[in-house]
């Protein structure tokens, strides 16, 4: 038919050309003239002797004669010019057949002319779709085929230009099939010609093949059926030509079997490659990129079009048939593997035969057999490439094809999982995650999630989970995940894991391990690890992803997820508790998002396991940042758990005891806070108690003061039935922490001492009695009134142990602090006053003075009136001077030091106490203090800013002047007048 059309065209243009030379006919259309001239030149070259063809073509093209014909407008004229160009190309081929071969020097220029006449505008878009225009394009494609079939070989630039200008024809509508089909056939022939005449050896031709196939993937995977059909047919035809190329040479005109063209090429090949092994002449299997190509054509085997399904199966068969016929690389496996491959290939060919003969066969069964065959035929590297490139296939525009791709991925993973290493699993996970984020339909997304779950189940779940969490971390930074249309795809992955029978427990375990290994950036830096800021940021993103993941498990796991959470109750709760400490210790307390996310997860956990009371505690105090508030919160949670789930306590305590060794300070704080409460409920398991006591004793020297004091607090909360076994350890800890540099730890030590002394036997206290006394004495002048009160009370509690072998030594401690107790009986703080009164009553039996015992029980000791205190002080100093005259000097030294106390009321008390001592004492040993005290009283009276101090100084001076001892200290002063003259301190 094509020959007949060409003959009609030539006859028409010939008649118009002859009419041009007739005198009777005027020129009506210049296009006819140009067309006739072009044909004349074309035929002249086509039938010229082979020796002059090259010269004629050079004269025509080299002088730009041919370019003048490009301005024709009429379709028939364009067709004539294109036919002329085609004739020029055929003339070159004819000359080559006659033995006078030469390269067509202006071939690229002639290709450019042909593409111009084909009807492309400046933007290389397809200009129209009229019937005549389509016929013009059909002829142009045929001419391009002729031109690319001659020497020299196409350059890469020219090849790309031709492909860009022609591949778009695959998208032509299918309305005028009688015109479009020949055009598509010519396009396919052109592509085959480009393939056959490009490259120098098998490998380069394989590269050409892959380049063209990749350009055609757009049409093979199109949403339009006829585009997919055309694309698949083109691929199939090209593979047929490529197979011929790999076996018996090729013919530029597509001849099959033996022909003069292929023989010529065979001889050329033999000449060029006769000295090279076949491995250099033929492509390698690797160069075919079968893994990539399989994932392009395998979804088409599940296409809605039967023709597409059949051709795509043939494409896959051709690919593997070619690959098996290529030389085997050195070291490749043989034997059973080859036999299995050929059996699988035979199975695939059987399927193709069935598709050709019976269109009514069950398509799902056919597709399953195709997948099974492909699964065997793929090498390990090809399998990996197939899985890595699955994203586009899963996102196929045809739903059935996308489902088929997912089915294939699942089967590949299930059957060949042992061949996938960690990197393969990681990259496959990334590909599947990318697909899950792009797939529009919910049902397809669920199938993708099933594939991800399959990968996690059959390979390394840890690697899959890590990739999912890393992807979630990136989403948290780059997206507003709360506002994504259709929901957050990664969260759906979390749901899929949590609902999976085999993966739910593993996923919880993995997420908890991430929570335990990763922490938010915190204020404490005493254990710096030298990590980069980017590393810390990445870890924080993964941590936030883990929190969201565990929340998804709690809320979306259903019955399967809930069961897994219940089984991992202790592990999950321990991790959440530790993270609660991390969040409260974050660098920026005002940035509450991490804390809120964690509290949401904690609340979801409470709802999942039915611990509603714990949820109420979190809702009430969860966001309170104050140190004691969140510490107390954890303590309350621990108490709630101990009551509601006592069976979980041993496991939780064991985990938290180990957590005390962690790097992150605030996690250690949280662990200590929980353990200090759990220890109260540990009386049922003695081994657990021993473990907890050992851990807390070990960490009373922790870098964190919170850990130190909480561990001590936990030690004194040991159940009463067990505390006697550990009281010696506890007292030793108390002794050391009474001198802790942190005041809060010291206060805790004092309070714990008060508690432990209630049940401590004398033999346990005796070894540390004096150490405790000395350390408590140092805390009784602390600025913190609570510390003063409890230090005094603790000394009073020690009094019951001040008998026996340590009586004298302890009594000495009593006399040392006695002046201090008297001074603080009238302290500003009521709790200090009460503690001093109680301690005085406790030491009375040790002093064993009836007058003091009676005085300590009088009303004036308990009175809050200043006058009663002064009466008490006068009577007490009288008793002391009377019964402990030898200690009066020591008392005075202690009291004089209190003149500079930070509290005005204590200064006033010291002033009155010293004056009372001097006025009541007859001991000459304290006469040396008279002048010092007198001078200090004068100074206080004149310079003190406090009215009470000034008034008490005045009253004390009067007391001294009225005393019976005033003559003695005046005489003593006159005797020393010479040595002290000039000193303003002692002037009256």
- pLDDT of 31 reads 67
CA distance 212 to 234: 10
- pLDDT of 764 reads 92
Beta carbons within 10 angstroms of residue 595's beta carbon = 21
Angstrom CA distances, 853 to 594, 800, 847, stand at 62, 16, 9
Q: How far is CA 36 from the centre of its chain?
A: 73
- pLDDT of 550 reads 95
CA distance 489 to 484: 9
Chunk the chain into consecutive blocks of 10 residues (it has 988) and report each block's average pLDDT, rounded to whole numbers.
44 48 47 72 73 73 68 80 84 80 82 81 48 88 90 87 92 86 94 84 86 94 94 95 72 45 42 46 86 95 93 95 80 66 91 80 89 94 94 94 96 95 96 92 92 96 95 90 85 94 95 83 46 60 92 93 94 94 69 85 94 90 76 92 91 92 91 92 78 91 93 91 90 93 94 92 92 92 93 94 90 92 92 93 87 84 88 88 85 89 92 87 69 84 89 87 60 44 32
Helix (H, G, I), strand (E, B) or coil at 37: helix
Beta carbons within 10 angstroms of residue 43's beta carbon = 16
- pLDDT of 27 reads 36
Q: What is the 3-state secondary structure (H, E, C) of 606-638?
A: HHHHCCHHHHHHHHHHCCCCCHHHHHHHHHHHH
DSSP letter (8 states) at residue 284: P
Rounded to 5 degrees, what angle do the CA atoms 134, 137, 143 make? 150
Phi, psi torsion values for 650, nearest 5 degrees:
-55, -45
- pLDDT of 880 reads 87
- pLDDT of 850 reads 81
- pLDDT of 389 reads 92
Contact assessment for residue 324 and residue 341, using Cβ atoms and an 8 Å cutoff: yes
- pLDDT of 520 reads 58
Rounded to 5 degrees, what angle do the CA atoms 206, 211, 215 make? 145
Which burial class, exposed, middle or buried, applies to 87 when counting CB atoms under 10 A from its CB (0-12, 13-18, 19+)? buried
The stretches of 197-335 forming alpha helices (DSSP H) are 202-220, 225-247, 260-273, 278-281, 290-297, 306-325
- pLDDT of 22 reads 47
Beta carbons within 10 angstroms of residue 480's beta carbon = 9
CA distance 229 to 211: 20
CA distance 62 to 64: 5
Q: How far is CA 61 from the centre of its chain?
A: 65
Rounded to 5 degrees, what angle do the CA atoms 516, 519, 524 make? 125
CA distance 737 to 28: 117
> At a CB cut-off of 8 Å and minimum separation 6, what does 875 contact?
855, 860
The number of helix segments (H) and strand segments (E) in the chain equals 50, 0
Cis bond upstream, residue 152 (ω within 30): yes
Residue 392 tokens read as 């586009």
Which one, of 394, 229, 407, lies nearest residue 309 by Cα? 229
Angstrom CA distances, 106 to 41, 147, 193, 199, stand at 16, 10, 19, 20
CA distance 927 to 169: 123
The stretches of 664-768 forming alpha helices (DSSP H) are 665-678, 686-698, 705-715, 720-737, 743-757, 762-765
- In this structure, the dihedral spanned by the alpha carbons of residues 175, 178, 181 and 182, taken in order and rounded to 10 degrees, is -150
Which one, of 462, 438, 440, 435, lies nearest residue 450 by Cα? 435
Beta carbons within 10 angstroms of residue 101's beta carbon = 15
Beta carbons within 10 angstroms of residue 324's beta carbon = 15
Contact assessment for residue 89 and residue 104, using Cβ atoms and an 8 Å cutoff: yes
Residue 598 tokens read as 């964690």
CA distance 602 to 555: 11
Contact assessment for residue 756 and residue 720, using Cβ atoms and an 8 Å cutoff: no
CA distance 234 to 300: 14
């Amino acid at each position: 038919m094509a020959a007949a059309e060409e003959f009609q065209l030539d006859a028409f243009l010939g008649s118009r050309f002859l009419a041009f030379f007739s005198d009777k006919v005027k020129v009506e259309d210049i296009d006819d003239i140009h067309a006739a001239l072009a044909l004349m030149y074309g035929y002249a070259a086509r039938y010229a002797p082979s020796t002059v063809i090259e010269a004629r073509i050079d004269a025509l093209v080299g002088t730009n004669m041919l370019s003048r014909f490009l301005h024709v407008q009429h379709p028939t004229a364009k067709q004539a010019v294109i036919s002329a160009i085609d004739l020029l190309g055929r003339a070159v081929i004819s000359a080559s057949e006659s033995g006078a071969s030469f390269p067509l020097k202006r071939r690229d220029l002639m290709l450019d002319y042909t593409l111009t006449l084909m009807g492309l505008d400046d933007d290389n878009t397809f200009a129209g779709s009229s019937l005549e225009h389509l016929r013009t394009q059909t002829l142009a494609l045929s001419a391009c085929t002729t031109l690319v079939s001659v020497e020299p070989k196409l350059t890469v630039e020219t090849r790309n230009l031709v492909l860009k200008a022609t591949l778009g024809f695959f998208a032509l509508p299918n309305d005028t099939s009688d015109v479009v089909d020949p055009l598509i056939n010519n396009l396919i022939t052109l592509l085959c010609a480009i393939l056959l005449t490009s490259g120098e050896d098998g490998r380069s031709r394989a590269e050409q093949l892959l380049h063209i196939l990749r350009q055609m993937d757009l049409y093979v995977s199109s949403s339009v059926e006829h585009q997919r059909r055309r694309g698949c047919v083109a691929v199939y035809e090209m593979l047929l030509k490529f197979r011929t190329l790999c076996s018996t040479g090729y013919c530029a005109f597509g001849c099959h079997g033996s022909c003069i063209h292929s023989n010529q090429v065979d001889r050329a090949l033999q000449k060029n490659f006769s000295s090279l092994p076949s491995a250099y002449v033929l492509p390698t299997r690797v160069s075919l990129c079968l893994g990539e190509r399989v994932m392009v054509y395998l979804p088409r085997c599940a296409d809605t079009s039967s023709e597409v399904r059949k051709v795509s199966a043939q494409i896959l068969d051709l690919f593997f048939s070619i690959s098996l016929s290529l030389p085997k690389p050195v070291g490749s496996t043989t034997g059973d593997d080859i036999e299995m491959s050929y059996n699988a290939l035979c199975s695939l060919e059987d399927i193709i035969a069935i598709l050709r003969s019976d269109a009514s066969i069950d398509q799902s069964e056919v597709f399953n057999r195709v997948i099974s065959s492909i699964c065997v035929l793929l090498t390990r590297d090809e399998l990996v490439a197939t899985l890595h490139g699955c994203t586009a296939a899963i996102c196929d525009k045809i739903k059935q094809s996308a489902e088929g791709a997912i089915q294939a991925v699942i089967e590949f993973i299930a059957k060949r999982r042992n061949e996938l290493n960690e990197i393969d699993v990681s990259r496959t996970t990334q590909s599947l995650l990318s697909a899950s984020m792009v797939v529009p339909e919910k049902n397809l997304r669920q199938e993708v999630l099933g594939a991800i779950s399959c990968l996690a189940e059959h390979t390394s779940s840890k690697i899959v989970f890590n990739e999912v969490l890393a992807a979630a971390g990136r989403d948290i930074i780059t997206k507003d995940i709360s506002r994504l249309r259709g929901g957050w795809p990664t969260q759906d992955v979390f749901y899929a894991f949590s609902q999976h029978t085999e993966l739910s427990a593993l996923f919880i375990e993995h997420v908890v391990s991430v929570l335990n290994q990763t922490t938010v950036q915190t204020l404490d830096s005493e254990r710096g690890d030298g990590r980069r800021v980017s590393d810390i940021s990445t870890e924080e993103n993964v941590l936030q992803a883990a929190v969201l993941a565990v929340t998804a498990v709690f809320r979306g796991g259903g019955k399967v997820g809930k069961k897994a959470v219940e089984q991992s109750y202790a592990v999950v709760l321990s991790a959440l508790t530790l993270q609660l400490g991390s969040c409260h210790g974050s660098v920026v307390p005002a940035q509450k998002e991490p804390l809120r996310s964690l509290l949401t997860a904690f609340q979801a956990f409470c709802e999942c396991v039915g611990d509603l009371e714990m949820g109420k505690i979190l809702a009430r105090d969860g966001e309170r940042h104050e140190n004691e508030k969140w510490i107390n919160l954890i303590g309350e949670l621990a108490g709630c758990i101990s009551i509601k789930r006592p069976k979980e306590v041993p496991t939780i305590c064991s985990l938290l005891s180990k957590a005390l060794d962690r790097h992150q300070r605030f996690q250690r704080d949280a662990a200590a806070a929980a353990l200090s409460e759990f220890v109260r409920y540990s009386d049922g398991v003695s081994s657990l108690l021993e473990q907890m006591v050992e851990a807390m004793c070990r960490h009373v020297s922790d870098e964190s003061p919170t850990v130190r004091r909480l561990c001590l607090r936990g030690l004194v909360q040991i159940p009463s039935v067990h505390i006697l076994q550990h009281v010696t350890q506890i007292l030793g800890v108390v002794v050391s922490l009474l001198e802790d540099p942190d005041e809060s730890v010291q206060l805790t030590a004092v309070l714990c001492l008060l508690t432990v002394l209630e049940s401590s036997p004398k033999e346990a206290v005796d070894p540390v009695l004096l150490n405790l006394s000395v350390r408590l004495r140092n805390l009784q002048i602390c600025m913190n009134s609570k510390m003063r009160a409890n230090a005094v009370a603790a000394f009073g509690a020690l009094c019951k142990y001040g008998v026996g072998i340590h009586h004298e030594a302890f009594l000495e401690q009593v006399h040392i602090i006695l002046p201090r107790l008297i001074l603080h009986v009238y302290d500003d703080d009521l709790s200090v006053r009460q503690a001093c009164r109680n301690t005085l009553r406790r030491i009375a039996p040790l002093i064993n003075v009836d007058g003091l015992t009676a005085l300590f029980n009088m009303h004036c000791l308990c009175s809050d009136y200043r006058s009663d205190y002064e009466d008490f002080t006068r009577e007490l100093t009288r008793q002391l001077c009377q019964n402990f005259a030898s200690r009066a000097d020591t008392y005075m030294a202690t009291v004089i030091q209190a003149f500079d106390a930070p509290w005005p009321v204590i200064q006033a008390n010291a002033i009155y106490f010293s004056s009372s001592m001097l006025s009541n004492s007859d001991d000459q040993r304290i006469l040396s203090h008279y002048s010092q005290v007198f001078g200090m009283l004068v100074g206080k009276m004149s310079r003190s800013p406090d009215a009470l101090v000034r008034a008490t100084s005045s009253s004390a001076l009067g007391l001294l002047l009225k005393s019976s001892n005033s003559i003695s200290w005046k005489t003593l002063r006159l005797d020393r007048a010479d040595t002290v003259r000039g000193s303003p301190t002692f002037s009256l």
